[in-house]
Amino acid sequence: MAHDPLLPSGPAALLQRAIETLRARLLPLAVEKPDHDAALAALRALAIAQAELASDPAIVGRELAEIEALLGRTFEGDAGAARRTLAQAIRARSLPSDGPTDVRLRDYLLKATANRLRLTNPKYMTRRKRRAESSY
Amino acid sequence: MLPRGSVKALSDFVRAAAQAERAEIAVERALPGDAVRAHYLMTADISGGSLAGRHALVLRGQAEDRTLASAEEFAVRQAAFGAGLTTPEPLWLEPNGDVLDKPFMVLRHATGTADAAELQRDLPVEEGDRLAYRLGQELALLHRIGIEGAPAEIAFLARPEADWAQRRAAEWRAALDGIATPQPCFEWAINWFADHAPAIEYFALCHRDLRLGNVVAEGERLAGILDLDEAGWSDPMEDLGWFCARGARRGLPEREAGGIGSREALYDGYKDAAGRDVDDRRVRFWEIAAAIRQGIAALQRAARPAGDAEQGLGAMLTGLQSIEAEYDLLLEIEHFMAEAT
């Protein structure tokens, strides 16, 4: 059940201010490499938590609908159960092995992965697209 | 650092192993980059015997979560060193845990840096290519050790079965069973691996974890290849694929050979030393396999209990890197299949 945030700007904005403050005041003091690496890791973790808090809740619903269409059944809003059942079906190779299902499954996997990657490492996809590697 | 009593026990061990009159060990520092085992740089002053003199040595303890135990890795290192691989000479093994609390080996120290970020930062493109070329040569040298006629000391290495790909897929699936969250993308990629694995005509001794971090170099000069505790019989192209895999390139993905040099330089070095061409398509297959292996390893690391908050944070962030491996898998499998049509 959703509740009113403690602050009008919400928890993601609170985290953003914390990140900015730590970056400005604490990071410059972490001179030794282990300290600097640890501080960067903590800042990155805060940024990921912030992105997850701010993510569009409708995405989960869309992913659930795609899994339900692939498996031909409903999961009553339980996205975790849907992902688990999909993983089991893939392992058991029980999904129809026709071309359209294969394409829909791959599209779902790519979209779901991209949605999560946008939260954890948004630069990763753009770097991959921009850089000239030999084939990919 | 080692307690004082352990240093004395270590000195006694070295004296006996070196058949010396006297040996005195001074532990200089813990070596970075390996949190799961004792790993120290030390100086040995040895009197008498064939190794009389001062030596920079490395004590390498046993880690619990690796494919090979200390005694097995030591044997592989001996075989590889004997075949001419540029790797620190393995000197002595203590296999029983009688001297310290766990088994360990003693190696010569390779002078240079194993800091991947430092190597990437300091190597201009041309020098990086020359180091990649050297590493290609080194892999070709290692791969001359074939499963047929292998040295007796590594006869313990498990011989691959005809259904090796299905077995590897089964191992990965078992690993996923230990992860709390469902992983449909890895399940899909494992099926793809099992369906597309090539037949292997020649099983060679493979490093199976060659990447920056396991290479010691001074500029473009290769000082040593480290850490053979994942070694085993496999397709020689697996080592090239592992080294070229996107997850191994760290911050320099455009340097396709390990984030340090060009793919062409690595291939050229391999070809010149092996006398045969590199099978690029097969290397690409193994890059996909590497992403599966790296992604599952990241999930496993996140699932293991952490020692303290900082280690726990590191493990969580490593676990999230599995999403990057998923993304790589999906794009690279698509590309691999498109190339086939």
Indicate whether B16 and B76 sit together in one domain. Answer: yes
A129 touches chain B (CB under 8 A): no
- By residue count, chain B amounts to 341
Across B28-38, average pLDDT: 76
Question: Contact, B31 vs B39, CB < 8 A?
Answer: yes
Indicate whether B59 and B138 sit together in one domain. Answer: no
Burial class of residue B195, CB neighbours in 10 A (0-12, 13-18, 19+):
exposed
Identity of the residue in A41, A110, A135 whose CB atom sits nearest the CB atom of B317: A41
**The pLDDT value given to residue A130:** 57
- The last residue of a domain, from among B108, B136, B156: B108
Indicate whether B293 and B272 sit together in one domain. Answer: yes
Q: How many C-alpha atoms does B110 have within 13 Å on its Cβ side? A: 21
Residue of chain A minimizing CA distance to B173: A91
Q: How confident is the model at residue A136 (pLDDT cuts 50, 70, 90)?
A: very low
Indicate whether B45 and B156 sit together in one domain. Answer: no
Looking at B62-207, which runs of residues are DSSP E strands? 90-94, 104-108, 204-206
The CATH code of the domain that includes B27 is 3.30.200.20
Does the pLDDT value for residue A1 go beyond 60?
no
Task: Give me chain B's average pLDDT, please.
Answer: 93
Indicate whether B65 and B209 sit together in one domain. Answer: no
Residue A42 with chain B: CB contacts under 8 Å: 313
Does the pLDDT value for residue B128 go beyond 90?
yes
Each residue's pLDDT tens digit, A18-40: 999 999 998 999 999 889 999 99
Dist. CA B252–CA B234, nearest whole Å: 27
Sequence-ordered list of residues with C-beta below 8 angstroms from that of B79, at least 6 positions apart, any chain: B145, B150, B151, B153, B154, B205
Residue A112 with chain B: CB contacts under 8 Å: 184-185
Indicate whether B126 and B57 sit together in one domain. Answer: no
Indicate whether B72 and B140 sit together in one domain. Answer: no
Across B173-191, average pLDDT: 97
Dist. CA B202–CA B241, nearest whole Å: 16
Indicate whether B206 and B315 sit together in one domain. Answer: yes
A120 touches chain B (CB under 8 A): yes
Indicate whether B51 and B141 sit together in one domain. Answer: no
Looking at B153-199, which runs of residues are DSSP E strands? none
Across A77-87, average pLDDT: 96
Indicate whether B69 and B33 sit together in one domain. Answer: yes
Residue of chain B minimizing CA distance to A79: B182
Greatest alpha-carbon pair distance for chain A in Å reads: 58
Residue B44 corresponds to which amino acid? A
- The last residue of a domain, from among B45, B80, B108: B108
B183 touches chain A (CB under 8 A): yes
Indicate whether B35 and B59 sit together in one domain. Answer: yes
Indicate whether B148 and B196 sit together in one domain. Answer: yes
Each residue's pLDDT tens digit, B271-292: 999 999 999 999 999 999 999 9
Segment 194-213 of chain B within 8 Å of chain A by CB: none
Question: Contact, A27 vs A41, CB < 8 A?
Answer: no
Dist. CA B4–CA B10, nearest whole Å: 10
What is the extent of the structural domain holding B222? 116-340
Residue A48 with chain B: CB contacts under 8 Å: 320
Q: How confident is the model at residue B177 (pLDDT cuts 50, 70, 90)?
A: very high
Dist. CA B202–CA B239, nearest whole Å: 14
Is 0.95 topped by the overall pTM? no
Nearest to B208 by CA among B164, B235, B241, B239: B239
Each residue's pLDDT tens digit, B64-76: 778 899 999 999 9
Residue of chain B minimizing CA distance to A44: B317
Number of domains in chain B: 2
**The pLDDT value given to residue B122:** 86
What share of residues in chain B are helix, strand, coil (percent, to 5)? Answer: 50, 15, 35
**Pairing mode of beta strands B215-218, B221-225:** antiparallel
- The last residue of a domain, from among B108, B131, B161: B108
Dist. CA A121–CA A117, nearest whole Å: 5
Give me the percent of chain B exceeding a pLDDT of 70.
Answer: 99
Residue A136 with chain B: CB contacts under 8 Å: 246, 331-332, 335
